[in-house]
Chain A
């Protein structure tokens, strides 16, 4: 199979990641629960993963990097934990439902008001207009780093500077950019960074996290066992314990830790260069195909390595089905959990077919996928 659905999850993981998880499965006790040797094996492994993640995103301290099960989990902690009754939030049409649904729920339940920066038919958004939306109640700017539909990317440093200047929290969803783009929480003024481990970071599913720039007044989304202060009726206040009730996925985190080593060994810039090259190769092959419509802004300097398109008047699901059945190529059709951007692109009804590339794909795979698109378009 040719797997080009890496924006959903990377299928191929580094072999050292697979080995680390297998090794952990029979050697880890429960991290942060007691101090016998196998509990400490897990605790040391989680500690190392935490140190690596903090370094990777330039999070000021490892303990400000709490682990979660995925980005959705992290975003729910951030959005529910930080926004209070009556707050106003500025977000964008690019967002995934993991941002939108928690926001809509707070709109209904806590009278949180929402403004969305509009995207145009190429999915472009004017982030410089953020100040026009600010009201005395505005508390936060929440945005994704890279759209999972168009691949368009936001200039986090510029947005972070606007947020800082206006005293707003800056919350970033790095699901599509972690493992591809440089992310520096301190340089970019990111207060809260949410990421998932199973996409560009090439770790296992069930890993992700929330990184804070400083200990914020954040109400934990859930509480429970921490292994300490068991008589205390409240969740311990110190990070990361505050945000990590329940047993951690230390087996998965051992894998994520190994994936971070892999990224370091290869070099993020080399990973980015290869993924960009694969996406550009694909684009070059299909862009002149008469009945292929491609979505996104291809003039901006940085893009995530994915391309969404439609072929003729085929519904996106049908096109993906043909690709799967006829060509054994895995892609993702539909709305991609991002309804607002599809509204902007004019694809709310039929969706789009998304091809997304990983460092572990090859040029030959990309050429075969492009050939398949051309054949379907000409049929």
Chain B
């Protein structure tokens, strides 16, 4: 079920992460700045990632392509937060 998967955009640094966050805001694509999940941290040196909704993934990719935005990877992970108990997005 798509609700159970989270998409994290990963970055090499905050500069790339915050730049893409601003671009997504301009395109009205919802994204939340979230800590990079520990299991994804091995390859990146940035503690922030962008958490995006599964239904927005194509729009995000289009936004990245349009602006030539830098990012490390997009990772899909099972949801880290119990959404029935805690606020998530």
Q: Which of A's residues lie within 8 Å of B, judged by CB?
A: 31-35, 40, 43-44, 46-47, 50-51, 61-63, 226-229, 232, 236-242
Mask for B36-80, Cβ within 8 A of A = 1, else 0? 100001101111100000000000000000000000000000000
Contacts A35-B34, A47-B15 aside, 7 further interface pairs with beta carbons under 8 A come to A34-B35, A35-B35, A46-B14, A63-B13, A227-B47, A229-B44, A237-B45
Chain A contacts for B48, CB-based, 8 A: 32, 35, 43
Bound CA span A31–B47, Å: 10
Beta-carbon contact of B18 and A47 below 8 Å: yes
28 A-B contact pairs sorted by A residue (CB < 8 Å): A32-B46, A32-B47, A34-B35, A35-B33, A35-B35, A35-B47, A43-B48, A44-B18, A47-B14, A63-B15, A63-B16, A226-B45, A227-B47, A228-B44, A228-B45, A228-B46, A228-B47, A229-B45, A232-B42, A236-B45, A238-B13, A238-B45, A238-B46, A240-B13, A240-B15, A241-B13, A241-B45, A242-B45
- Smallest Cβ distance from B82 to chain A, in angstroms? 19
Q: Does B5 make an interface contact (CB < 8 A)? A: no
Tally of A-B Cβ pairs under 8 angstroms = 61
Chain B contacts for A240, CB-based, 8 A: 13, 15
8 Å CB interface, B1-37 against A: 12-16, 18-19, 33-36
In the A-B complex, the 8 residue pairs with the closest CB atoms: A236-B45, A238-B12, A228-B47, A63-B15, A47-B18, A238-B45, A227-B47, A241-B45
- Smallest Cβ distance from B72 to chain A, in angstroms? 9
Chain B contacts for A34, CB-based, 8 A: 35, 47
Bound CA span A230–B12, Å: 15
Chain B residue with minimal CB distance to A235? B45
Beta-carbon contact of A43 and B18 below 8 Å: yes
Chain A residue with minimal CB distance to B48? A35
Bound CA span A46–B48, Å: 14
Chain A contacts for B12, CB-based, 8 A: 63, 238, 241
Chain B contacts for A32, CB-based, 8 A: 14, 46-48
Chain A contacts for B42, CB-based, 8 A: 229, 232
Chain A residue with minimal CB distance to B46? A228
Bound CA span A286–B34, Å: 62
Chain B contacts for A229, CB-based, 8 A: 41-42, 44-45
- Smallest Cβ distance from B19 to chain A, in angstroms? 7
Determine which of A35, A51, A239 lies in contact with B13 in the assembled complex, contact meaning CB atoms within 8 Å. Answer: A239
Beta-carbon contact of A40 and B33 below 8 Å: yes
